[in-house]
Amino acid sequence: MAEVTIPDIGDFEAVEVIEILVSNGDDVHAEDPLVTLESDKATMEIPAPGNGTIANIAVSVGDRVSEGSVIMEILGNAEPDHPGNLPGTVSVERAVEEKVPPVPGEIPAHSPPPTLPGEIRPTAEKIPHASPGVRRFARELGADVSKINGSGPKGRILKEDVKAWIKRALAETPGLQEATGSGIPPIPEIDFSEFGETETRPLSRIRKLSGPHLQRAWLNIPHVTHHDEADITELEAFRKSLKEEAEQSGAKITLLSFIMKALVSAMKKFPRINASLSPDNGSLILKKYFNIGVAVDTPHGLVVPVVREVDRKNIFDLARDLAELSERARNGKLKPADLRGGCLSISSLGGIGGTSFTPIVNAPEVAILGVSRSRITPVWNGESFAPRLILPLSLSYDHRVVDGAEAARVCAYLARSFEDVRRLSL
């Protein structure tokens, strides 16, 4: 009989068990999920270390566990590795939240939360029953969870309870929005069935998590988007010429690999786009490493795994990394490390279409490059019009860090790099 313990799950302590996926007597195989844990940043499945039969489940839903905690015993051939070596996987639905550190201006976990006027103050009268994610949500809104009655199982406080409490507090405090200067009137509720037949479908978890993050980024960052175009006729011809060599090395080279190399070159020449504002917004943290996040379209929504050390990899290496990360993203097998440490992100819609768009900066990054579908366009060469393959670029940036002139220079530099791929070796 072997004990199953919690593996190394990063900087998380006392993580809540939200789901038990097996029962006593169940036969399991290596890598089968056993329990699901939820922190304020991630939902993680703990896999079986080997084949066997579940003999004793030592935890219940709502319990809190940490690295090394025993969660159950398996009878059979299961021989768990050292806890730090178990290959825990992370559900794709939480990818956006895990990947992105708090945006500048977000309330740190160790800071006292802001309070609403009147009787809305923190209190130690009781220990409320709420998950870390709900507690964090309440902190962001300045809500006191000790004053909220939970509607979940065993009085558990849900996000809906926090929202309802905030609505009541606002209604009972006239002029609150005007006094704080930060209140945004909510969109009025409408009964759409009044106008015709409707159907209600729940949002996927990733969209529930990404929505608040995108809203925070949009409200905290003064967004500006600069649009430009690049002639990639020769670059595309060069990419196609590498097809046979790429197949021999087990890689499928796409335009994205070249874009990443060009972007690293631009980040070195314009270091402000490879930076983040300090928490107090008083200084700029310049990064000396080059990790690029690449948005991946999955059945559950968009996730942004990070390709590390892009400056040290060649086109073939990047092609293999992109293919492997994209596959794991679509299968929900991304690990926490795959989603952290990005310096700048790329959102490519070239496989779908469009001429330009405004991607939202992935805070605390200060810029994101949007790429639309390339198209054949007649271009005047001085004597006649010639067909050229043109790639639309859209660079969104944080105007507190990057100004319009610098953004224009970045896009112009990228365009020159694409037009003559030899520049990537300079």
**Positions marked active-site:** 399
- Radius of gyration of the CA atoms of the chain, in A: 25
Q: How far is CA 387 from the centre of its chain?
A: 39
How many CA atoms lie less than 13 Å away from 379 in the CB half-sphere?
13
Instruction: Report d(CA 287, CA 105) in Å as an integer.
Output: 20
Cα separation, 109 vs 232, in Å, equals 46
Burial of 286 (0-12, 13-18, 19+ CB in 10 A): exposed
Name the DSSP class of 130: B
Angstrom distance (rounded) from CA 47 to CA 34: 6
The number of beta carbons lying within 10 Å of the beta carbon of residue 200 is 6
> CA 169, 172, 175: angle at the middle one, nearest 5?
95
Strand ordering across the sheet containing 15-20: 64-65, 15-20, 33-38, 43-47, 89-90
* Paired strand residues for 277: 284
**Token representation of residue 140:** 């962001």
